């Protein structure tokens, strides 16, 4: 099959889980001898890539210029529909219902009489945001989202509990399929935690790891706040933050660390794109924490599961679908610093419990490898082609 994948960003700009998902799914599709083309914008944070056409691991990558680039959700691509129509794809697969490119991609599919798939990572009106953003997203979901959701041939959601909110927004139940995110097989190999600890000179200390975008929605500020209680019991502990900085939120976290006098126990590594080094970060951790306000499903949680790490996360979005509280993880309320601190201390104090949670998480995540997920995706694509 000839397949188009359309997402705002793509390699080398691996901003979040969406970019990793598109890359990993595309890799597996190419391995199965499908022809895969990825369309993404040609800029990231104002910096334009030098080449508009590229090949990444057998994936044809097309960088599309922007006609309008105001915010993340106000990006109007120049000539996307015409490019998609020119290639005569069998399937057009786009990501994020709230992006203009998804509406355009689905229209291109309808114009060419070819099926389109729309992956929904997050239901945006459920994500905690500042009032002015929350008001806009709630209005968008209530009045506008249906025009994109209804035109797609299939709507793919990351977890079962995301289906009902989409149906309330106007998506048709019969179009919805649950297709979770997943992990590379390599993530199941033992990571080199020793190398990570030595590189950052933190050997011999309890390591609390956060891996994700440095953004207020992801909740790293609450992890910094929890450090006071944790360090009172484990003064040598170090809080490691791995991920790209967004909107200079690293500065906010640094200032927060100074305010609470824990700045010397906070380490920022920046993003880690090499998967072996990233697995080393998980392997080095005593506890993995994702205090996020909302996740469709979390790539980082899946990766921590693969490395058999005890996980603390929030009971938001699709996370309870990934890990069950008390079985594979400890789930807490978003923004509850006391509960977060208590959960971290509980796992550091009880290595047996931490080990049991990690082992059970690893067994569960084996069901979510990309080969297994692409088996399902091929079945969905095939069914769409027959409609």
Token couple for 166? 């989409």
Structural domain spans, the chain: 2-182+369-385, 185-367
In terms of Cα–Cα distance, which of 78, 74, 90 is closest to 39? 78
Cis ω for the linkage preceding 259 (within 30 of 0): no
Residue 223, Cα to own-chain centre: how many angstroms? 19
The CA-based angle 153-317-178, given to 5 degrees, is: 30
Class for the domain spanning 185-367: alpha beta
b (16+ CB within 10 A) / e for 140-164? bbeeebbebbebbbbbbbbbeebbe
The correct answer on CATH 3.40.50.2000 for the domain covering 2-182+369-385 is yes
Same-fold call for 2-182+369-385 versus 185-367: yes
* pLDDT per residue as tens, the chain (387 positions): 999 999 999 988 887 788 989 999 999 999 999 999 999 999 887 788 877 899 999 999 999 999 988 776 779 999 999 999 999 999 999 999 999 999 999 999 999 999 999 999 888 888 777 777 788 888 888 989 999 999 999 999 988 888 999 999 999 999 999 998 888 888 999 999 999 999 999 999 999 999 999 999 999 999 999 999 999 999 999 999 999 998 899 999 999 999 999 999 999 999 998 989 999 999 999 999 999 998 878 889 999 999 999 999 999 888 998 999 999 999 999 999 999 999 999 999 999 999 999 999 999 999 898 998 999 999 999 998 776
| 339 three-class SS | helix
Task: Find the length of the chain.
Answer: 387
């Amino acid at each position: 099959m000839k397949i188009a994948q359309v997402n705002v960003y793509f390699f080398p700009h691996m901003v979040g889980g969406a970019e990793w998902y598109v890359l990993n799914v595309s890799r597996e599709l190419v391995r199965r001898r499908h022809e895969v083309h990825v369309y993404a914008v040609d800029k990231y944070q104002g910096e334009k890539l030098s080449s508009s056409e590229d090949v990444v691991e057998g994936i044809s990558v097309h960088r599309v210029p922007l006609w309008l680039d105001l915010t993340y959700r106000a990006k109007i691509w120049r000539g996307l529909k015409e490019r998609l129509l020119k290639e005569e794809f069998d399937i057009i697969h786009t990501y994020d219902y709230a992006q203009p490119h998804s509406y355009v991609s689905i229209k291109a599919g309808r114009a060419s009489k070819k099926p389109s798939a729309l992956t929904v990572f997050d239901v945006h009106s459920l994500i905690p945001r500042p009032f002015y953003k929350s008001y806009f997203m709630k209005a968008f979901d209530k009045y506008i989202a249906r025009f994109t959701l209804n035109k797609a041939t299939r709507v793919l959601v990351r977890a079962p509990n995301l289906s009902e909110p989409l149906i309330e927004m106007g998506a048709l139940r019969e179009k919805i399929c649950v297709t979770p995110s997943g992990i590379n097989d390599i993530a199941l190999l033992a990571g080199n935690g020793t190398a990570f600890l030595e590189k950052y000179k933190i050997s011999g200390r309890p390591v609390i790891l956060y891996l994700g975008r440095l953004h207020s929605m992801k909740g790293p500020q609450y992890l910094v706040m929890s450090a006071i209680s944790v360090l009172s019991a484990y003064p040598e502990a170090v809080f490691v933050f791995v991920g790209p900085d967004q909107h200079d939120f690293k500065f906010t976290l640094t200032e927060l660390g100074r305010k609470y006098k824990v700045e010397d126990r906070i380490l920022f590594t920046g993003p880690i794109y090499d998967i072996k080094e990233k697995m080393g970060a998980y392997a080095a951790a005593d506890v993995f924490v994702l205090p996020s306000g909302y996740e469709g499903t979390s790539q980082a949680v899946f990766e921590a599961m693969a490395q058999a790490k005890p996980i603390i996360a929030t009971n938001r979005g699709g996370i309870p679908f990934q890990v069950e509280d008390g079985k594979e993880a400890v789930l807490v309320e978003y923004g509850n610093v006391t509960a977060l601190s208590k959960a971290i201390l509980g796992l550091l104090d009880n290595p047996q419990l931490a080990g049991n949670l990690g082992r059970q998480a690893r067994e569960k995540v084996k069901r979510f490898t990309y080969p297994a997920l692409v088996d399902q995706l091929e079945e969905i694509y095939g069914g769409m082609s027959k409609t």
